């Protein structure tokens, strides 16, 4: 028996050695000039998984310097072709359905979490129609109604959370605080009063179990009968039932108070063929919306707090801006006055530029795709990857690109460009697009030129995020409220801002975003005076 085991292990070892040697020989002597260059690697199955997973941007820039704007690397047995820059964004994000497919990439991960009949469990035409219906919840009229809810939830959290009480201060986990605030704010606005009132310990547990379902292993093996996946499946059923019960009660009682939340928008909506949405579809879309939007705001809000903690003078600048625009520190902003808080908006833009919610957007190649003017063809079966955050980190577009500097947006050219983009986004949501260079993927005309912008925190093209203006409004309202009620600074002025921990990233394919990363940090709270505005001191990890 022992000799059999020894022979088996020896054979396995030789197989590995032969595989590695064959892989090396293939890379050295059998390069195909008509295929993208392959990133050097030792083991075919592993490829560059570790380098990419540890820091995607470092990996992208290192490979770009060596191979150019497009290259192929191995990711857990898959061949992933990256195409960087504006041309790459256009090649992938404006790609045709017959060439590229997102459902095959993201479906295995998202369907068990979001549920059947929505997002990547349906064909692209149906998903685009669902995005059209979701877009109805992000009009200017609805955003005006959402902003007071954002502010109310943030104020209530600060006024009731034990961390922010007393005169002796305390320690808080910044990522947890922003995660909870953004979750309550999203629920209190988009999700509706009944959903917000259902936020008890069991709902929070279901949400966490669903979130755990986005474990990296489920990107490849979502069917594994692990405890995490069993909890994920049960949580999906329970949360969907909660939504469907609310829907049934609403249908029975009617919308007497004229509420403007997403649940009513979906209940009243119909697909283009006239078919109403099934209750299960509405419930699963609401789950997707809650999870996607909450993660974006929580991650971005955490980065905002961390950067401002290292620059307390900017916190004071933000407070003084509110006094100038709003008149006094008891006046909460409205949707309109949020637009006038220029520095607040610049803080959000700069954070999204440096810490984009999206670092990778993937598509399955369905048929060979020639890269224009290169003679290179991306084979069918490859995964194409766009990285819209790369131009945001390039010196040619943003001087000192890795420095977090909200005042860079004070420059007229950059500020006007961003203001124009936001205006175009809101016009699109309100159905007033006037750009002649547009394409309608099924949820309203979008600009085909947007992919060439160096600032794309919410993507572009067919899968452009429909919740972009909602995210700006929510982040703006939360930031303005925190600035009005609190002060915070770094306990160690010399400590750097924590680096991004990409090991806690999750690859999402929902309508809100497709990949995100977040910072983890704790904060120490200590009052500075008897005024409402207290001092939060945030130490780095």
Which residue is it, tokens 């160096």?
454
Q: How far apart are CA 447 and CA 434, in angstroms?
A: 9
For the chain, counts of helices (H) and of strands (E): 18, 15
Is 172 annotated as a binding-site member?
no
Instruction: Please check whether residue 209 is in contact with residue 232, taking contact to mean a CB–CB distance below 8 angstroms.
Output: yes
Q: How far apart are CA 461 and CA 253, in angstroms?
A: 40
Q: How far apart are CA 248 and CA 291, in angstroms?
A: 22
Instruction: Please check whether residue 494 is in contact with residue 506, taking contact to mean a CB–CB distance below 8 angstroms.
Output: no
Instruction: Please check whether residue 43 is in contact with residue 13, taking contact to mean a CB–CB distance below 8 angstroms.
Output: no
Per-residue DSSP letter, 533: -
CB atoms within 10 A of CB 248: 11
Strands 78-83 and 534-537, sheet pairing: unpaired
Instruction: Please check whether residue 46 is in contact with residue 23, taking contact to mean a CB–CB distance below 8 angstroms.
Output: no
Closest alpha carbon to 505 in 515, 520, 494: 515
Tokens for 21, please give them. Answer: 């040697």
Q: How far apart are CA 520 and CA 508, in angstroms?
A: 19
Binding-site positions read 465
Binding-site positions for heme read 465
């Amino acid at each position: 028996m022992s000799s059999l085991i020894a022979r088996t292990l020896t054979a396995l070892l030789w197989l590995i050695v032969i595989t590695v040697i064959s892989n090396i020989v293939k890379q050295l002597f059998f390069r195909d000039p008509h295929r993208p260059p392959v990133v050097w690697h030792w083991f075919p199955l592993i490829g560059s998984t570790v380098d990419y997973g540890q820091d995607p941007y470092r990996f992208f820039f290192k490979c770009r310097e060596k191979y150019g704007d497009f290259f192929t690397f191995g990711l857990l047995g898959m061949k992933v072709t990256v195409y960087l820059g504006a041309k790459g964004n256009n090649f992938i994000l404006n790609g045709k359905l017959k060439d590229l497919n997102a459902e095959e990439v993201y479906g295995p991960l998202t369907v068990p979490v979001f549920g059947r009949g929505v997002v990547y469990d349906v064909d692209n035409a149906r998903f685009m129609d669902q995005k059209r219906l979701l877009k109805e919840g992000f009009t200017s009229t609805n955003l005006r109604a959402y902003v007071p809810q954002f502010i109310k939830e943030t104020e209530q959290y600060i006024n009731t959370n034990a961390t922010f009480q007393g005169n002796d201060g305390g320690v808080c986990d910044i990522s947890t605080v922003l995660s909870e605030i953004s979750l309550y704010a999203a629920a209190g606005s988009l999700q509706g009063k009944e959903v917000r009132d259902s936020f008890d310990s069991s709902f929070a547990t279901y949400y966490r179990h669903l979130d755990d379902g986005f474990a990296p292993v489920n990107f490849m093996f979502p069917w594994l009968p692990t405890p995490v996946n069993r909890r994920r499946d049960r949580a999906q059923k329970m949360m969907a039932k909660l939504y469907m019960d609310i829907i049934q009660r609403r249908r029975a009682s009617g919308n007497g108070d004229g509420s403007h939340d997403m649940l009513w928008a979906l209940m009243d909506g119909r697909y283009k063929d006239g078919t109403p949405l099934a209750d299960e579809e509405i419930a699963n879309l609401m789950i997707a919306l809650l999870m996607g939007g909450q993660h974006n705001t929580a991650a971005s809000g955490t980065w905002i707090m961390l950067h401002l903690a290292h620059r307390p003078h900017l916190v004071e600048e933000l407070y003084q801006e509110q006094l100038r625009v709003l008149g006094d520190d008891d006046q909460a902003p409205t949707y309109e006055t949020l637009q006038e808080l220029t520095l607040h908006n610049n803080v959000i833009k700069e954070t999204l530029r440096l810490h984009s919610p999206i670092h990778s957007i993937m598509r399955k190649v369905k048929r060979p795709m020639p890269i224009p003017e290169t003679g290179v063809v991306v084979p069918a079966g490859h995964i194409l990857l766009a990285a819209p955050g790369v131009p945001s980190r390039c010196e040619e577009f943003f001087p000192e690109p890795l420095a977090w500097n909200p005042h860079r947006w004070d420059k007229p050219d950059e500020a006007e460009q961003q203001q124009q983009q936001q205006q175009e986004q809101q016009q699109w949501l309100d159905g007033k697009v006037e750009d002649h260079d547009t394409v309608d993927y099924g949820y309203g005309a979008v600009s085909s030129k947007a992919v060439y912008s160096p600032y794309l925190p919410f993507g572009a093209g067919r899968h452009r995020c429909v919740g972009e203006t909602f995210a700006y409004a929510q982040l703006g309202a939360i930031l303005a409220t925190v600035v009005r009620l609190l002060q915070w600074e770094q306990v160690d002025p010399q400590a750097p801002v924590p680096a991004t921990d990409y090991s806690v990233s999750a690859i999402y394919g929902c309508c809100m975003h497709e990949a995100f990363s977040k910072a983890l940090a704790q904060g120490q709270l200590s009052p500075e005076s008897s005024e409402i505005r207290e001092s939060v001191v945030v130490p780095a990890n």
